[in-house]
Structures are given as structure tokens and as C-alpha cells.
Homo-oligomer: A and B are copies of this chain.
Amino acid sequence: MRFEAVKVGELARRTGLTIRTLHHYDEIGLVTPSLHTESGHRLYASGEITRLQQVISLRQLGFSLDEIRKCLDGPGFSAIEVISLHMSRLREQMELQRRLCDRLEWLDSRLRAAGEVSADEFLKTIEVMTMIEKLYTPEQMKQFEVAGKQVGPEEIQAVQDGWAALLPEVRANLGLDPASPAARDLAQRWHDLTQQTMRGFQSTPELKQAIADNYKQGKFEEFTGAPQAADMAFIERVKSAWPSIGKDC
């Protein structure tokens, strides 16, 4: 059945958005009605409805309206790709929310049993709450997906497991003598794992740059699962003491 173009009020009712929101999206060229009545009333046809769904999807992923407009006006994004991004992010968010739920349940039971909980536990809970933030543009997220598909899920899992094993060990040994064989061993493993991680991004150098930029801006400081400044400083010290690390020969 052919979709009949709708007016702004009905579109607002059927989507849960406000008329002001739709006016604003029209003004900034984000979702522009393709039809108007003779006296100028907006009429939204099915093409705009499709685009609006993509806009709301990307908005829920935390992108600015300007980013969304550039992304959708460019050639590289179809409705299917926006939906894929949205679904993968939804899964991430749901996983994070499960973790947050677990932490809140733990806090709740401890508060009921002991009456109080240490401030450190509250800090960890806040950290989980604020964890997912948009670090990349939609284009970069798409490239993550492409890179992920190229290396395959087993390799991704291996890299993640590698960091999950190595980071705690490095942190437990930050005080090691950089010239000791044990320190050298840690630095070598760090180097090898970094190479393995970066192999997945060979075809997307701008993505590698974006990751490096985010590190530089301290965006990963609250991710205990990501290398931190102290970790990298230690590795640099060990590399200074053992120049052979990193030289593949």
C-alpha cells in the first residue's frame, strides 16, 4: 500500500518527536519535507520517513546533528549500514547495562547488609556508568566493522584475551628494573601484541590515527582494559634498556 504523505503534527504524534524538533531538522537541512501544500504546510513522504529513522538511530548513538547530516549526505551510508551500526552499538550498550546492573545489585546488597560501602566502590560504579562515550565518527565506526570482518572474530578474541592477560601482569610489575630479563620479556610481549592488534587496521590508516588521537587526548583514561600512560611509560623505559626489542630480524 502506497504511503500517504503526512503533515508535521501527525508525524510528531506517530514518532514521539516534537513539532519543534521536526522544524529544527528542516531548518538545518537534516530532514527536509519533499512536498508542501499550496499554502506552505510541510508534507513528509516515505523518503523522509526512511531518512528520519536513520537520523534518530544515529542521534541515539550520540552523534551531533551536524555529523549525522554530513554522514547521510555522503555516498558511503545506506539504511542497512546505519541499522547495522545501531544494532552493534545496542548490543554493546546492553552488555554494559548488564554489568552496571550487576554492580548496582552488589552495591544494593552491601548497603543493606553492612549499612555502608567504601567510596572506592561508588567510584567504580560511576566509572561503569560513564564508560561508553562516542569516540569515533560514524565513518570510523563503519571502518571498525570492516576491519573486524577482515580479521575475523577469532583473531579479535585472541587480541582481546592477549591484552586481558598482559595488562594486569604489566601493572603488577611496574616497579621492575627495566634492565631485568623479566621486564624485557614483558616489553617483548607488549610489542608483539601491539603488532598483532595493529595488523587489523592496515587498510584503514585514518582509523589508526583516530585511535592515536583519542589516546593523546586521554579519552581512554577510564578504561582499565586499555593501556594507560603509566603502562606505556614503563614499556618505554624497558625498550630504552633493551634496544633489541621491536627490531624484527
On chain B, the residues within 8 Å of A45 by CB distance are 119
CA distance A249 to B80 in the complex (A): 59
Q: A91 within 8 Å of B by Cβ?
A: yes
On chain B, the residues within 8 Å of A90 by CB distance are 97, 100-101, 104
Partner of A52, one of B52, B60, B118, B126: B126
CA distance A111 to B212 in the complex (A): 36
CA distance A246 to B185 in the complex (A): 81
Q: A39 within 8 Å of B by Cβ?
A: no
CA distance A123 to B17 in the complex (A): 11
Interface residues of A, count at CB 8 A:
51
CB pair B101–A3 under 8 Å, yes or no, is no
Main secondary structure of the interface of A (DSSP, over half): helix
CA distance A101 to B57 in the complex (A): 11
Additional A-B contact list (4), CB under 8 Å, known A3-B120, A80-B108, A91-B101: A13-B218, A15-B126, A83-B104, A90-B104
Residues of A within 8 A of B (CB): 1, 3, 13-17, 45-46, 49-50, 52-53, 56-57, 60, 79-80, 83-84, 86-87, 90-91, 93-94, 97-98, 100-101, 104-105, 107-108, 111-112, 118-120, 122-123, 125-127, 129-131, 133, 218, 221-222
